Amino acid sequence: MLDDNFIWGDVSEIFKKLNKEELDDVIKDIKYRMTKGISELNELNILIKYNLKPFIVFHDFKNPNHPEFKYDTFSIGDNDISLINDKLNECYGIDNYILQYNNESQTNVGYLIVIPK
């Protein structure tokens, strides 16, 4: 299981801390996302399953402060806060995280940053 104090690091270091079942879930999710182009909901489901509450940066995310920034759209809707809000609350708990959007982007893409309290 990941260390409760873990916030940021090289993905290879993260994978070293996972047991086989956790790693299998992560790899299955990555493969599925690569072939199906689905939303962040699967990532949040894995975090919920293993009670992980990391610092997260979602890219290609709809930024309400900068409508000119690009974002992904999935078959279930735009990649925006309404898509993931319920899962964020389930993962971190209501009012136990801070959301920040980017104000600048060299690639004209929106980001959502989730910071656990």
**Alpha carbons 88 and 96: distance in angstroms, whole number:** 9
pLDDT digits (tens, 9 = 90+) for 67-117: 999 998 887 889 999 999 999 999 999 999 999 999 998 889 999 999 999
- Those residues whose C-beta lies under 8 Å from the C-beta of residue 112, and which sit 6 or more positions away, are 57, 58, 61, 63, 81, 99, 100, 101
Mean pLDDT of 42-49: 83
State residue 30's pLDDT score: 58
